[in-house]
Structure 1
């Protein structure tokens, strides 16, 4: 980090990242990458990395099996980090996925989508869709395709879930809308989706916010940084699902939806508005809302040993395993 002391800065999004005029990106927040594990010492979950395409990778998680032919629900998971930070291969995400896979007894595909600013949005959305298509392709006969054994042997393709935290929750929303408009291979259906502390924003203040508070929030700045060419800017339907020209929430392509929020999180008001808007949209499914008192953004990922974090992860696991 000290090597950047004398460089000229182009963008300062502290405490998250800085970009220098020579193109260097300095990420100030996140956890180190860790390798997959044949068997996690705490949970017994096995993990391995796979290449989905030349640009997209994933880390797969398989819980301990009681039956070698056991079929499991599948969660396609999208990590958080404002589209700019963190990784499916990071310590924080690996720890979280191990716990969730063990608790839900689910096969998890944690997607390593490419990050801004090196790969501005909509690249992350496209990578995320590519990963879901790859999972779906395992349910059909496709001559010449090299299939992943964990999916062919253990995936219950009637129980496909998508989930994500923060920016990952935003990705889930956009993936569910795309799946409503564009069929997946084999016409695979998504049973449910969870949006945990989803990253939504807009130019219009909400509740007691002032216009200045809305525009000066880092959530506003990071979106414009990650997607500088976004049609509509901060009111792009991809970050503002409440804007007039946004796709109807009635088109969300799943039958079950779980939205998890934290009382102290600045994103929570928009998360509540999202649930209310889904209910009013005519969407034909079951939506649940969980708001955890006294906690902040993505607390369960940052410290999964807290009692409230354990409770939330159990709630997520129950949603996936139903």
Structure 2
């Protein structure tokens, strides 16, 4: 590993493994101690066709799934509020499957959706999609690491024929980016209660390709990489963040990058909050719902 986990430039009082409730195994894999229930609430089919949100969950690339209760319930609320059909996909977790595995899985989710759309008259399309979905109004949605994943998946999708699926916009909610050089917000929040810097570093060390450090373009989209020339081709984007998030400076840099490439960006940064606040604070979830609805409505005008 190019960058030692202990070689951080700051002092942390937090054990990142204990904080994440994981154990590093001798073979390099991790044991995840948390188990989460999978609720099964199936809403009634709407009368009119609905836009589709293709959703990637958060978890620092190493934790959780689409079935994790917090993410599932958030999607249920968002789906009812918009209204929209949300397709949450599973992706392989690091360190057992390091990046770009999650990007590959996200692109495969888009290809799966394309196959569903092409089977709509042949009887093999998923009934929910057949009855409810408007494949010409699709949005990519990602929270935290999911925002990173959907960003790079979107760039890959630009060179894929997904017809008749049409991606109209992208929603990046507190997207997870990093870099070697510390930002002011990272230094201010070294021992943040949700995302302390040592945990941030650990997640990247477990997720990035072997031999790579946080200067890799998977982590820092502002550095040189094959992605740069594609950014200008992205559809309009919503980028959300909170000042209390250690990653807020990274998210603002991300907005500047998009705008510099000519991408139409709706940036919404608010005071207070913390990383993942929408999952725990119902009032902040309501604001997320309103922001996403405003963005979708504006994108479909």
34, 45, 59: which one aligns with 1:81:
59
Task: Tell me, yes or no, if structure 1 residue 226 matches structure 2 residue 207.
Answer: yes
**Within 5 A, what are the aligned runs for 1:100-111?**
100-111=78-89
Task: Tell me, yes or no, if structure 1 residue 14 matches structure 2 residue 15.
Answer: no
| Equivalent position SS for 1:15 | helix
Task: Tell me, yes or no, if structure 1 residue 313 matches structure 2 residue 294.
Answer: no
**Residue deviations 1:252-310, cap 9 Å, x none?**
55422000101111111000011011111233xx211111211000111133x2x2331
Q: TM-score, normalised by structure 1?
A: 0.77
234, 251, 268: which one aligns with 1:290:
268
- Give the Cα separation in 1 of the matches to 2:165 and 2:29: 41
- Give the Cα separation in 2 of the matches to 1:208 and 1:34: 35
| Equivalent position SS for 1:174 | helix
- Give the Cα separation in 2 of the matches to 1:130 and 1:33: 26
For this pair of structures, how many residues does the alignment match? 276
Task: Tell me, yes or no, if structure 1 residue 98 matches structure 2 residue 102.
Answer: no
Question: Could you say which structure has the greater relative contact order, defined with CA pairs below 8 angstroms and 6 or more residues apart?
Answer: 2
- Give the Cα separation in 2 of the matches to 1:296 and 1:251: 28
Gaps of 5+ in 1: 1-10, 39-45, 47-62
**Within 5 A, what are the aligned runs for 1:173-322?**
173-180=151-158, 182-186=159-163, 188-207=165-184, 217-229=198-210, 232-248=212-228, 251=231, 253-283=233-263, 286-303=264-281, 305=282, 307-321=283-297, 322=300
Q: Do 1:75 and 1:163's aligned partners in 2 also have CA atoms closer than 8 Å? A: yes
Q: 1:24 to 1:221 in 2, by over 3 A?
A: closer
| Equivalent position SS for 2:24 | strand
Task: Note the C-alpha offset of 1:104.
Answer: 0.9
- The equivalent of 1:27 in structure 2 is 32
Q: Which has the higher strand share?
A: 1
116, 120, 132: which one aligns with 1:138:
116
RMSD (Å), alpha carbons: 2.7
**Residue deviations 1:147-205, cap 9 Å, x none?**
2121122211221100010000001110121122x223326331001111101001123
- Give the Cα separation in 2 of the matches to 1:208 and 1:318: 28
Q: Do 2:104 and 2:153's aligned partners in 1 also have CA atoms closer than 8 Å? A: no
Task: Tell me, yes or no, if structure 1 residue 36 matches structure 2 residue 76.
Answer: no
Deviation >6 Å, runs of 4+: 142-145
